Chain A
Amino acid sequence: GESVGLHLPTLSVQEGDNSIINCAYSNSASDYFIWYKQESGKGPQFIIDIRSNMDKRQGQRVTVLLNKTVKHLSLQIAATQPGDSAVYFCAEGNTGKLIFGQGTTLQVKP
């Protein structure tokens, strides 16, 4: 039958504000989590990762938080810029392969 495309959730923020993108994962046995950024017409670009023995990891302008109790992952982007506009995917890893979440579209308003 015909498949219907999913409507990705959208987060709209003002340039310079902080952004928080949330993700719920499904497998409590997942031991590795990654955030990717996908710009229009391009493949996913690695942003930051975190292992299950950590609850926070920081990169340049980005922070990933992991709450294993409620199986929740978040990506915080500080001082959001127009170049941050993209679709953001979380992915959970187990036995080496990644399962992707639905994705969130981040729109940065000038």
Chain B
Amino acid sequence: SAVISQKPSRDICQRGTSLTIQCQVDSQVTMMFWYRQQPGQSLTLIATANQGSEATYESGFVIDKFPISRPNLTFSTLTVSNLSPEDSSIYLCSAREGFSGNTIYFGEGSWLTVV
């Protein structure tokens, strides 16, 4: 199974600033995704990180607020821009090996608090 590491694991940020979260997978994966989990809620898909091209965003999420990079098959970053207290959440990176039907694994998450 793929092992997914995220950095930072936790951070406290000032409103108006930005935070970049890194996601490293220990093997090459076909697809990588970014999720948000607000306090007490389920996971919501932000976007699919596409290798070498622009990410595919879900409804309600835009590139200006959540720019994503994926320079290769093992690494991706998510930036949360112009932070507000409403952005306080867990941000989770996930990855899928192979094609449709293969298991999707998650990192431990990056816990963001905006003050």
> Which residues of A line the B interface, CB within 8 A?
3, 5-8, 31-32, 34, 36, 42-46, 49, 51, 89, 91, 93, 95-103
The listed residue (B99, B100, B105) touching A46 by CB distance below 8 A is B105
Partner of A6, one of B40, B99, B107, B109: B40
List of A residues within 8 angstroms of B66 by Cβ: none
Partner of B45, one of A34, A44, A98: A98
Interface on B for A, CB 8 Å cutoff? Answer: 1, 31, 33, 35, 38-45, 48, 86, 90, 92, 94, 96, 99-101, 103-109
Evaluate contact between A96 and B108: CB separation under 8 angstroms.
Answer: no
Closest residue of chain A to B6 (Cβ to Cβ) is A43
Which residues of chain B have C-beta atoms less than 8 A from A91's C-beta? 43
User: Considering only CB atoms, which chain A residue lies closest to B43 in the complex?
Assistant: A100
Within 8 Å by CB of A5, from B40, B45, B90, lies: B40
Q: Report 13 cross-chain contacts, Cβ distance below 8 Å, ordered by A residue.
A: A6-B40, A7-B40, A32-B100, A36-B106, A43-B92, A44-B106, A46-B1, A89-B43, A91-B43, A93-B101, A96-B99, A96-B100, A97-B48
> How near does chain A come to B1, taking the closest CB pair, in angstroms?
8
Contact partner, B100, options A7, A95, A103, Cβ 8 Å: A95
Known contacts A6-B41, A93-B101; can you find 15 more A-B pairs with CB under 8 A? Answer: A5-B41, A42-B108, A43-B92, A43-B108, A46-B1, A51-B101, A89-B42, A89-B43, A91-B43, A97-B45, A97-B48, A98-B33, A98-B94, A99-B45, A100-B43
